[in-house]
């Protein structure tokens, strides 16, 4: 990541919600290396989080709290004089949203407007906000790839939660003048993701343990797959540009532009692990999921100078190496 164009963040005080998640665990060290002071809002202690395992959490100020609790957000922003917010905190699993939509709406919708409202009240402190969104915010589209001009049109619980969060962010930008940027990424993968129901970590673990990977869909759903280091670069690039004029409330897509089916990504993982003898088990039980999605990232390239710095093969190889170490698998 050191080769990426990141300005000096010395003197900036950054609040990251969801800091112990996959992206947060990579974003925090990058900002620390750039000189930022980082405040991490954490709901539950998770000793398996890469943020904890790497030791980076020891260099952060930790605020224990919930996105839905105004007083916790007030402490994080006011007591620590936050000037930049990366809002990553969310319930991120499509399956969990299907089973328990209320919990997802509380976290992803209520949590977003509570945070934005605290930032509005303290706009003298908060200068820039990046909201981590998803391609799911677009909902089902007849024409692909998604472009930023398409409306937020989610229909299933998780998708709706992201659509609503994005519309709230745009409201606070348009009505109250907050400097907010919305980052919509495809499927993010990388070392540190311990949600084994996801195709990349689940397939890697199965392969390393010599078990056939399980695919809950029919294997033909297509997605963008974006390496976490490129996501970190995207979020920082967007935050840096928010200091200029004309971007507040804007949406930016971040993806590799080469969608793959679930079976294709599983096949690549099995090849890297050296277990092409394993045949995936197809359950064909996916529910409340969009069948085909991928993003046009030309706006990010044009305005932010962003493009993925890692090929899919390189990103997957690095990810497999991380899980070999984490799982204690033989090399």
Average pLDDT over residues 88-104: 94
pLDDT of residue 5: 59
Of the candidate ranges 90-104, 144-158, 180-194, 317-331, the one whose mean pLDDT is the lowest: 317-331
Please indicate whether residue 158 is annotated as part of the active site: yes
pLDDT of residue 287: 86
Whether the predicted pLDDT of 330 surpasses 60 = no
Average pLDDT over residues 202-211: 98
Q: CB count, 10 Å around CB of 264?
A: 16
pLDDT, tens digit (0-9, with 9 covering 90-100), for 136-193: 999 999 899 999 999 999 999 999 999 999 999 999 999 999 999 999 999 999 999 9
What mean pLDDT is reported for the chain?
A: 95
**Domain ranges within the chain, ordered by starting residue:** 13-189+228-256+295-308
Query: Nearest-CA neighbor of 316 among 204, 198, 233, 235?
Result: 204
pLDDT of residue 7: 78
pLDDT of residue 318: 98
pLDDT of residue 244: 84
Average pLDDT over residues 235-257: 94
Q: How far apart are CA 131 and CA 230, in angstroms?
A: 16
Q: Please, which pLDDT band fits residue 288 given cuts at 50, 70 and 90?
A: confident
Of the candidate ranges 78-87, 108-117, 236-245, the one whose mean pLDDT is the lowest: 236-245
Give percent of the chain above pLDDT 70.
97
Catalytically annotated residue among 158, 172, 221, 323: 158
CATH match of 13-189+228-256+295-308 with 3.40.50.720: yes
Q: How far apart are CA 40 and CA 80, in angstroms?
A: 11
Q: At 252, phi and psi to the nearest 5? A: -130, 130
Average pLDDT over residues 3-31: 90
Q: Please, which pLDDT band fits residue 302 given cuts at 50, 70 and 90?
A: very high
Average pLDDT over residues 300-305: 97
Whether the predicted pLDDT of 4 surpasses 80 = no
Query: Nearest-CA neighbor of 147 among 300, 323, 315?
Result: 300
Whether the predicted pLDDT of 329 surpasses 60 = no
C-beta of residue 181 within 8 angstroms of C-beta of residue 87: no
pLDDT of residue 3: 45
């Amino acid at each position: 990541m050191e080769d990426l164009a990141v300005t000096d963040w010395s003197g900036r005080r950054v609040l990251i919600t969801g800091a112990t998640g996959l992206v947060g665990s990579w974003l925090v060290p990058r900002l620390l290396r750039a000189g930022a002071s980082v405040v991490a809002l954490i709901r539950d202690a998770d000793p398996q989080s890469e943020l904890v395992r790497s030791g980076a959490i020891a260099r952060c100020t930790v605020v224990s709290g919930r996105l839905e609790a105004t007083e916790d957000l007030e402490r994080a922003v006011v007591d620590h004089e936050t000037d930049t917010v990366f809002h990553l905190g969310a319930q991120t699993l499509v399956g969990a949203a299907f089973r328990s939509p209320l919990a997802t709406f509380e976290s992803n919708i209520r949590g977003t407007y509570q945070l934005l409202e605290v930032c509005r009240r303290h706009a003298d402190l908060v200068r820039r906000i990046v909201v981590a969104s998803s391609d799911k915010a677009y909902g089902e589209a007849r024409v692909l790839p998604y472009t930023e001009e398409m409306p937020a049109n989610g229909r299933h619980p998780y998708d709706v939660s992201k659509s609503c969060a994005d519309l709230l962010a745009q409201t606070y930008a348009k009505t109250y003048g907050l400097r907010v940027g919305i980052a919509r990424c495809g499927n993010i993968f990388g070392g540190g993701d311990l949600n084994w129901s996801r195709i990349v970590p689940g397939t890697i673990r199965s392969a390393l343990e010599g078990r056939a990977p399980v695919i809950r869909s029919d294997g033909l759903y297509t997605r963008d797959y974006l390496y976490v280091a490129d996501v970190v670069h995207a979020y920082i690039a967007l935050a840096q540009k928010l200091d200029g004029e004309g971007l507040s409330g804007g949406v930016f897509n971040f993806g590799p532009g080469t969608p793959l089916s679930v079976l294709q990504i599983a096949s690549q993982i099995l090849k890297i692990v050296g277990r092409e003898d394993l045949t995936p088990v197809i359950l064909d039980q996916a529910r409340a999921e969009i069948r085909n999605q991928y993003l046009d990232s030309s706006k990010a390239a044009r305005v932010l100078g962003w493009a993925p710095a890692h090929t899919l093969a390189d990103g997957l190889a690095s990810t497999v190496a991380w899980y070999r170490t984490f799982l204690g698998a033989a090399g």
